Amino acid sequence: MWLKPEEILLKNAFKLWVTEKDNEYFVLQRRRGYGEGGGGLTGLLVGTLDTVLDSTSKVAPYRILHYTPDSQVYWSIACGVTREEIIQHWDWLQQNIMRTLSVFDSSEDITSFVQGKIRGLIAEEGKSSLVLEDDPEKFREALLRFEKWFELPPQEKLVTYYSCSYWRGKVPCQGWLYLSTNFLCFYSYLLGSEVKLVISWDEIWRLEKTSNVILTESIHVLAHGEDHYFSMLLHLSETFVIMEQLADYAIKRLFDKEAFQRVPALSDPLQITKRGLEAHTKSEQFQTFFRLPKEENLLEVHESYLWVPFSNHNTLGKICLSENYLCFASQDGSQCHVVVPMREVISVEKTDSSSRAIMVCVRGKRALRFSEVRDFQRLANTVRSRCGISASPQHSGSSEGIRGECQSLINHFEDNPEDVTLMVGQKDSSKAVSTEALMTVFHPQDVENLDPKMLKEKMKEQSWNIHFSEYGRGTSMFFTRKTRDLIVRGVPESLRGELWMLFSGAVNDMATHPGYYTELVEQSLGTSTLATDEIERDLHRSLPEHPAFQSDTGISALRRVLTAYASRNPKIGYCQAMNILTSVLLLYAKEEEAFWLLVAVCERMLPDYFNRRIIGALVDQAVFEDLIRENLPQLVEHMTDLSFFSSVSLSWFLTLFISVLPIESAVNVVDCFFYDGIKAILQLGLAVLDYNMEALIVCNDDAEAVTVLNKFFDNVTNKDSPLPPTVQQAPVSNNDKASHISVDICELIREAYEKYGHIRSEDVESSRKRNKLYVIQTLEDTTKQNVIRVVSQEVRLNVSHLDELYNLFKRQHFLCCYWTMNSPALLHHDPSLAYLEQYQLGFQQFSVLFSLLEPWAFCTSKSTLSLWVFRLIDENQDGLINFKEFCCALDTFYSGSFTNKLKFLFKLHLPPAFDLPEDGVIRKSPERGRGKVDLQTYLKQWQNEILRKEETIKDLPRINQSQFIQFSKTLYNIFHGDPEEETLYRAVAHVTSLLLKMEEVGRRLQEPSSPPEATKPARTTTPAAVEESSTTEEASTTPESSDTCSSHSNQEAVSNLTHTEWSFSFEQVLASLLNEPTIVSFFERPVDIQTKLGKARATQLKLTASK
């Protein structure tokens, strides 16, 4: 490998190098302790020194130095892992450089020419792969060590590396941590003791920062039931973040089957870089904080001051720019932020060069003034280009005119706040099926009603109108602490839909997709899928007590929204609890708005909640448990098992407390959720437990605790709700009221914010990532146990063997996904399938795993035979096999009787396994998105499997000429390499001869009564062809005498069968082979399954790398 020329002052520093070749300008050296004469104490010391100092010499013990005769300075220009590699570089220098150097007059010119040439070679090599790395030269050297030490497939992409200590027990090993796309690797070499660790990201259960008495701060990794600790990291936080990002990337790609089509930096696992991961993480945080669509990427960040008119001062913060949005967030503790869609910007002006300020004017007579922007000119031009606008006509005039125009606009807003109008985005830009919120239809407000509740409602509306006049209204409204205070006190019924749209970011989705919902409704109208069937069953279970859903109007709207979303996102389709949430959304938002609110909740605010495994809800339950331990220690002391709270709080998270609270109280919780996200739900959950602390502590069992919480929720009221009794849920009985004091929802929410408002959204997201690994691995482990329980009833393999086989099978499934986004496992993944079908192998993956676990050493036709096995066990012929099918085949090979093994081999040479296309390509493959699942078909198939009789040998069809010839070849291949190979070959030849003679006798007995067949165009096979085919393998490996003897006997036996069709039954083949004890003993020889599994585990990755 060519190296960036580096100066070396001492040619033989510490006598660590030995010169092997030299000439006038170059010298080739070998590291002491390597190659001939290596080892011993010198080798140990040198190897340890190289590893600790991260020397390239550890993996590249050969190097080439450049020097000139009149200089004492040497330059390293190349290194090599093997002598052959370094000799290639040496020869290249001899042929291409040495002749040229003679024309130079000075040593400086020679050295300058050599350095330039070497740099040119390095630049040419690294054009494609290293251009995105921060330090390509050092990265090339690290990549060399990574490839040499771990022997991973060449396409595995190294992301970054760090020096650290790895703790084995209480002893630290100083070495290097390498983080690649799919693996966490560590290498250390100290005084002859080599430590090598390779863990795939999909096998990690825990990844967290920890500290204890011995380790001040370290990174803890739990995988395969073993704890691994890494410490002494110079940048521990940075290392942990990268590890967290890679683990999250692996989880999303391998378990969630996410293709990252909209994220170019992550769309190709062969091109993942540290820079790309960091950019994606920042974009995710940007999207989450400002509630923006997933398509938005953080492009630029500028530090600046923003003039806030309601406070009359400049607030320090950062401008964040994406493709379609300009956002600002304060950093001075004011918790002020604003989102400006580019579509709302009408002009961008540079008002004052001295203060480096720009003015962004938006529709609705609003203007935002940013000052002290370092690169304000470029920012202004960027915003203009993204908005599709040019500088205003005044821009060509004097700067005084520009400043005067903008200043007058600002003064107008300060003096006339009532002129602030509704922003675009609230306008009805697309046609919806229903244009009114259901609450407006079924509970119109009575303007003349002056009861106390309605007066309180009017006061709330007035408070919000004042807020709008000061902070703006619509998409460009300022979000501050005061906004949150108003949310906590309660949102007026008339503004709820508008504010939900604004806080969730759904207003932007709807504005940028006009007509999208109407198209979805029309497309999904009348379709019949599994999702639509489930939706129909749940329609009348959605808020059945509310008048809106006792009529066709509400039910039809609910049906349209749920069906349209199922059509938009087939990956989620429809899941339980979506009907309850959508019902509440429809009460306060128009139908199209309710659809976009549902999109925001399912795809951004509650990721992974609404799928078959509700992973997101389980993750947030784990986060909730962590918060209980931190904030409610008294409760933890009395209830050490917090899993109870996980089970009881599941509905809290899935329905945002809608299913446990009266509807008039639950909507207040939804208000807080749309503003603060999951943090609001976690805070309220803690407040509920804190309020019932004393009652929960004295509970004797879980059932009593559930009763306590249910009674509490029944007594939660909303004293300010203007809803009539027909809409509100029925109150509890008088007896219950006497024993339980009612709690106002506003007071409960206020208490939750006061006590637990210190919980930061960033900490919640970090806890989510940490717990997601454990939740997914726990679900995977449960799936494995279920699969093993089912499969163990079908096979003779014990549970421990099945456990290891499952791990191998699953890993092989993932190996085909590691380095591509287009593997069959990803393209054909269907999360709606049963757990037994979740992991399946295509033929290529199967052939690799089968070659590791096959009991016999197959010869030249190994790939052909594995294809036949694959076709035979692929019962539904979809081009994929599941774990059960794979285990049943191995069980026959490992534990089956002689008859069963022979029957399996016999069936390999019958259709459908044997009758294949000439190219052996699998034609049929499953389609992604299977549409409606016919449950009746599944039940019928299940019933047939139960009633299906075991196949007997009499049920097998006869084997014809070509099939029998191939069957004989297969037996020869199976016996290849066996100690008794020659005896087994002779036995097969004898059986073949015997079967042919039996067929001849049968033909002769039937000749008198058989009609003449002279005119019948029968398939013909000459005896010579039969014998030549059946003994091809034998002739190449057995003595000539045995081949000649068996050949003559078989040719004589089939001399009269030249022009006739012949075939054999399985009974004939079985009876003939049973007469050969050597063959019977070969097939009945026990297989050391544990050894097979151990070797497969050790070589699976290497074999995949060599494919």
Q: Which residue has the higher pLDDT, 827 or 926?
A: 827
196, HSE (Cβ side, Cα atoms, 13 Å): 10
Q: Out of 36-40, 156-160, 550-554, 825-829, which region has the weakest mean confidence (pLDDT)?
A: 36-40
Instruction: At 954, list the tokens.
Output: 């009499």
Helix ranges, 341-451 (H): 376-387, 399-415, 438-442
pLDDT, mean of residues 125-142: 62
Q: Which residue has the higher pLDDT, 475 or 126?
A: 475
Instruction: At 701, list the tokens.
Output: 């069992």
Average per-residue pLDDT in the chain? 80
Q: Which residue has the higher pLDDT, 400 or 587?
A: 587
3 state SS for 851-874:
HHHCCCCCCCCHHHHHHHHHHHHC
Longest distance between any two alpha carbons in the chain, whole Å: 121
pLDDT at position 310: 84
With a cut of 60, say whether residue 1095 has pLDDT above it.
Answer: yes
pLDDT at position 929: 38
Range from 16-30, 595-609, 1090-1104 that averages highest in pLDDT = 595-609
With a cut of 60, say whether residue 308 has pLDDT above it.
Answer: yes
Query: Which of the four pLDDT bands, split at 50, 70 and 90, describes residue 807?
Result: very high
pLDDT at position 334: 67
* Alpha-carbon span 376 to 302, nearest angstrom: 9
Is 909 in contact with 974 (CB distance < 8 Å)? no
Q: pLDDT of 965-1022, one tens digit each? A: 888 888 888 887 788 888 988 998 988 888 888 877 777 776 655 444 443 344 444 4
Query: Which of the four pLDDT bands, split at 50, 70 and 90, describes residue 499?
Result: very high
pLDDT at position 923: 42
pLDDT at position 934: 52
Instruction: At 415, list the tokens.
Output: 């003096």
Query: Which of the four pLDDT bands, split at 50, 70 and 90, describes residue 1047?
Result: very low
SS3 164: strand
With a cut of 90, say whether residue 154 has pLDDT above it.
Answer: no
Strand partners, 167: 172, 229
* Alpha-carbon span 896 to 889, nearest angstrom: 10
Is 490 in contact with 746 (CB distance < 8 Å)? yes
| 62-66 vs 74-80, strand pairing mode | antiparallel
Crossing angle of helices 1077-1084/981-1006, nearest 10°?
Answer: 120
pLDDT at position 269: 87
Residue 617's closest CA among 578, 569, 652?
652
pLDDT at position 1104: 63
* Alpha-carbon span 156 to 848, nearest angstrom: 18
Instruction: Return the exposure string of 805-815: e unless at least 16 CB atoms fall within 10 Å of the residue's CB, then b.
Output: bbbbbbbbbbb
Bond into 1039 cis (ω within 30): no
pLDDT, mean of residues 793-810: 93
With a cut of 70, say whether residue 12 has pLDDT above it.
Answer: no
Query: Which of the four pLDDT bands, split at 50, 70 and 90, describes residue 926?
Result: very low
With a cut of 90, say whether residue 247 has pLDDT above it.
Answer: yes
Question: What sign does the CA torsion over 667, 669, 670, 672 have?
Answer: positive
pLDDT at position 1038: 39
Burial bucket for residue 316 (CB in 10 Å: 0-12, 13-18, 19+) = middle
* Alpha-carbon span 423 to 409, nearest angstrom: 17
pLDDT at position 299: 92
The neighbour count for residue 24, using CB atoms within 10 Å, is 11
Query: Which of the four pLDDT bands, split at 50, 70 and 90, describes residue 1101?
Result: confident
Query: Which of the four pLDDT bands, split at 50, 70 and 90, describes residue 1059?
Result: very low
Is 323 in contact with 297 (CB distance < 8 Å)? yes
* Alpha-carbon span 700 to 917, nearest angstrom: 68
